[in-house]
Structure 1
Amino acid sequence: MAENSTHGIRADEPADIGRRVLRLRTERGLTQKQLAEPAYTAAYVSTLEAGRVRPSETALRHLAGRLGTTVEELATGRPPHLATELRMRLTDARRTLATGEAEDAAGLFRALRTEAAALALPGEEAAALLGLGDCALETGDLTEARDRFAEAEALLSHQPLPRRVPALRGRATAHLLAGELRYSCYLLETALDELNASGMHDPDALLLLYTASIAPYMDMGAHARAAHAAELALALAPQVDDPALVASMHRGVARTLIAEGRIAEADASLAKAQELYQQLHIRTELAHCHWMRGYVHAQDGNLKKAESELRTARDMLASKRAALFTVQVEVELADVLRRRGKAAEAEELLRPLLAPTALGAERGAVHAGGAHRLLGLIAEERGDTDAAEEHYCAALSLLERTGAAGDLADLCRLLGDLLRRTGRTEAALDAYRTGLGHRAAPGTTTLGPAPTAPPLWPRP
């Protein structure tokens, strides 16, 4: 079956289209000449009805207009209202994901995917796959998320890159959450490079990619590159009509402002995002705003407010059964609790997170490393140096796989200090030397930043 590039539909074979034209023409009492004029000849219509020629998109539009039908129905035999109804139900499934539980939304998306495939509607099938990928991200099944996003990309492989960007961004996000920071950056940078080189200035696609690149850049410690992406995103925002995209941009930009110590501006940016998410009733993203505002307050030293915001974020995410995001917030909350002198409560919160089903090498490695780091600090503060060393080493093992080298530097310093205090000077020097290659700057993540990614854009 051939692809109609204008309408994004899969047209039937010429013989099928020809039989359809013949039937509709006969039903309407038209001669071949009447159907053909003024743009075509009766001979062309005869050839077409015999199935010996595939009508062009222009010819399909002419014939559909004369026959009182649509191009889609003429090309596929499918009534156009089926696709419209399917798109409306996809919107309903999206609303369920935004306001309810991901598992409920996933059930809707699975049914819609099956239906779209049966109707040969690749665009709608890809939209259902995107929904399934987003559901999997929320529940923490990162392998499932990557697979669904990859399937959506494959379905849209014949489409221009801007159409494929949401699926590509989803795949990059899944790799980021799995701790594969460099590969996440690679996917996003490659797409940006292709878009910019081809001259396809699609503001929505570019804003989506620049915003998505901020998180892996920040986690890798590439602050200048993250700030540059934020500047470009801010410049694109006035050209974008989708409020969810703009809200996501404000949330991403806030991370770069925090890193620069511009706390008030970061909080203002998060307030804009929060207002938009409230209007759109997108609960997961609204919870992320509370999460980041808690982090802003923690950076500013207001630990009481930080705790309040993080508890709100955790409760919202837990109510949606967003398992992975919930435990990630709990790591941030435990850090604040420890700093407030509530070490026992922090430890009680952290220990369940070390189970393989909560966090681990394949499921939030950066935050799993953070949990071990905090447990190491708590153990050290109560004088249990053996337990502290064990947790620091576990954190190092996890973070070595992520590319978050700044976090590794921080852990090397903690481990070196511990070894030095316990009289193992040579081992301490080795830990410090390892950490020297991973110099961290403050104010990026709870754990610290990492090395710069390869440049994509020229900078002065």
Structure 2
Amino acid sequence: MDEPARIGRRVQRMRGELGLTQRQLAEPSYTSAYISTLESGKVRPSETALRFLAARLGTSYEELATGRPAHLATELRLALTDAQQTLATGAADEAAARYRRLLAEAEELGLVPEQAEARLGLGDCALESGELPDAIGHFEAAERLLADEPLPRRARPIRGRAVAHLLAGELRYACYLLESTIDELGASGLADPEALVLLNAAIIGPYLDMGAHARAARAAELALALAPQVSDPALVAGMHRQVARTFLAGGRVADADASLAKAQEIYGQLRLRTDLAHCHWMRGYVQAQNGELTSAERELRIARDMLSARRAGLYTAQVEVELADVLRQLGRYEEAAGLLAALLELGDSHGAVHAGGAHRLLGLMAEERGEPESAEEHYVQALALLERSGASGDLADLCRLLGDLLRRTGRVEAAMDAYRTGLGHRAAPGTTTLGPAPAAPALRPARVSGSRWAAGPAE
């Protein structure tokens, strides 16, 4: 709302244009003396008074309070929706250009919610293009703009920051952001279903990467229980995509593939190409785990081509690690090594977890070629990268591989040290690496397919 003097001048001008006296404008709810005081800028009108006067003057409350015609905000919101669709179906750089232009307009007009929406869009664009520091900056700016809003409104920028830190290999911090927000939602009584699904779906990945499988399963169970209360189909699809990971970790391959099929169908209907690419990627991973290597290669190549066309460099690199592993299992070592070498040339900009995965695969291939020294070198480099990220599950597996290699080459004591390191990373998953698990919010169970789902107990 503008200062009282500016509002007063605006009321006086509009009244004069309509040829109304102060008494005619005021009646029946106010007095001419009140209108006189208001027009002189000596009183700050209440929202109720301004809405009454706006109706009498034939204008909107927003225009009377701020001087901005209401259609400007509406047009800006429509343009933001168009930019979101561009990001979903086109190139991230084109969407980012639109969001930057709309952010400048929103700042000029002083429209805070629209500024926050533009910042969220720029954060999503930066995530897709792998510009993680920029993404974090945009999400932090959106969070500041929404500081006075209820916590459910701030779930999106918090989730965005967590994903950016996760992609940068900062798993513990990503978990902290998501866990603390879930706890705060429960403690505040603001257990908004959409916010909880958004946050619980996002936390499944870092939980699994850190070896906290029980927590991942509980987050998936809560997300599934809340899904019937969520109206956004894209959010439901994203939830199914993440829940599939918990099914796979529990050996439920058919359930994982069924969840991915649901997500893929929704993304196809909504024409969300990046998310559809993620589904192809995940289905390829599931098929690889099930030994269906030819199908896995096909799905992963589709995902890689779609993401590469979108210039989503970070996600493309992640898919290439999975594709290289499939090629290794098919015996096509040169192709696999070529993919991994190109990825490692990009340096740490594509994340310690993925660079660590690339070195792990190169070590496996060196072992299979009978080159133990080269294999050990790659394993040690992978270990250094993964220790920075806190990816406990991957670290434990890598320590096992390194220990086996050292034992076969006669270095028993060094092998024992590697095994002990791996056991340390596997000890009490989800308790030694993280703080207390988020408490389950008090929710009424939702009916799903004739049964009832309930959130699991806190760990």
Question: Which deviates more from structure 2 when the two are superposed, residues 369-378 or residues 421-430?
Answer: 421-430
Tell whether the 8 Å contact from 1:217 to 1:225 is kept in structure 2 after alignment: yes
1:409 aligned residue (377, 381, 396)? 396
Offset at residue 453 of structure 1 (A) = 5.3
Equivalent-residue separation in structure 2 for 1:175 and 1:432 (angstroms): 29
Equivalent-residue separation in structure 1 for 2:256 and 2:380 (angstroms): 34
Task: Name the structure 2 match of 1:279.
Answer: 269
Equivalent-residue separation in structure 2 for 1:454 and 1:305 (angstroms): 40
Tell whether the 8 Å contact from 2:208 to 2:393 is kept in structure 1 after alignment: no
Tell whether the 8 Å contact from 1:129 to 1:148 is kept in structure 2 after alignment: yes
TM-score by length of 1: 0.92
Structure 1 portions without partners, runs of 5+: 1-10, 445-449
Tell whether the 8 Å contact from 1:331 to 1:367 is kept in structure 2 after alignment: yes
Task: Name the structure 2 match of 1:137.
Answer: 127
Task: Name the structure 2 match of 1:214.
Answer: 204
2:104 aligned residue (99, 114, 136)? 114
Equivalent-residue separation in structure 2 for 1:12 and 1:388 (angstroms): 68
Tell whether the 8 Å contact from 2:186 to 2:439 is kept in structure 1 after alignment: no
Equivalent-residue separation in structure 2 for 1:255 and 1:427 (angstroms): 34
1:396 aligned residue (361, 364, 383)? 383
Q: In the alignment, residue 21 of structure 2 is paired with which amino acid?
A: T
Q: In the alignment, residue 322 of structure 1 is paired with which amino acid?
A: A
Offset at residue 452 of structure 1 (A) = 5.6
Q: In the alignment, residue 147 of structure 2 is paired with which amino acid?
A: S
Tell whether the 8 Å contact from 1:376 to 1:388 is kept in structure 2 after alignment: yes
CA deviation digits over 1:351-397, x for unaligned, max 9?
11112x3x52x532211111000000111111211211111011111
Task: Name the structure 1 match of 2:168.
Answer: 178
Are residues 1:203 and 2:193 paired?
yes
Task: Name the structure 1 match of 2:419.
Answer: 432
Offset at residue 30 of structure 1 (A) = 2.1
Q: In the alignment, residue 256 of structure 1 is paired with which amino acid?
A: T
Correspondences of 1:357-372 after superposition (within 5 Å): 357=346, 359-360=347-348, 363-372=350-359
Tell whether the 8 Å contact from 1:406 to 1:451 is kept in structure 2 after alignment: no
Question: Which deviates more from structure 2 when the two are superposed, residues 23-32 or residues 377-386?
Answer: 23-32
1:83 aligned residue (65, 73, 85)? 73
Equivalent-residue separation in structure 1 for 2:255 and 2:365 (angstroms): 33
Tell whether the 8 Å contact from 1:406 to 1:440 is kept in structure 2 after alignment: no
Offset at residue 341 of structure 1 (A) = 1.4
Correspondences of 1:287-326 after superposition (within 5 Å): 287-326=277-316
Tell whether the 8 Å contact from 2:333 to 2:365 is kept in structure 1 after alignment: yes
Offset at residue 44 of structure 1 (A) = 2.1
Equivalent-residue separation in structure 2 for 1:210 and 1:39 (angstroms): 50
Q: How has the CA–CA distance of structure 1 residues 322 and 83 changed in structure 2, closer, same or farther, with 3 Å as cutoff?
A: same
Tell whether the 8 Å contact from 1:178 to 1:363 is kept in structure 2 after alignment: yes
Task: Name the structure 1 match of 2:258.
Answer: 268
Q: In the alignment, residue 455 of structure 1 is paired with which amino acid?
A: A
Task: Name the structure 2 match of 1:194.
Answer: 184
Task: Name the structure 2 match of 1:256.
Answer: 246
Task: Name the structure 2 match of 1:352.
Answer: 342
Equivalent-residue separation in structure 1 for 2:43 and 2:193 (angstroms): 39
Offset at residue 193 of structure 1 (A) = 1.4
Q: How has the CA–CA distance of structure 1 residues 268 and 192 changed in structure 2, closer, same or farther, with 3 Å as cutoff?
A: same
Tell whether the 8 Å contact from 2:317 to 2:350 is kept in structure 1 after alignment: no
Q: In the alignment, residue 435 of structure 1 is paired with which amino acid?
A: G
Equivalent-residue separation in structure 1 for 2:191 and 2:56 (angstroms): 37
Aligned length: 441
Tell whether the 8 Å contact from 2:211 to 2:426 is kept in structure 1 after alignment: no
Structure 2 portions without partners, runs of 5+: 441-456
1:456 aligned residue (438, 442, 451)? 438
Offset at residue 38 of structure 1 (A) = 2.7
Task: Name the structure 2 match of 1:158.
Answer: 148
Equivalent-residue separation in structure 2 for 1:160 and 1:43 (angstroms): 39
Tell whether the 8 Å contact from 1:220 to 1:453 is kept in structure 2 after alignment: no
Question: Which deviates more from structure 2 when the two are superposed, residues 60-69 or residues 373-382?
Answer: 60-69
Task: Name the structure 2 match of 1:53.
Answer: 43
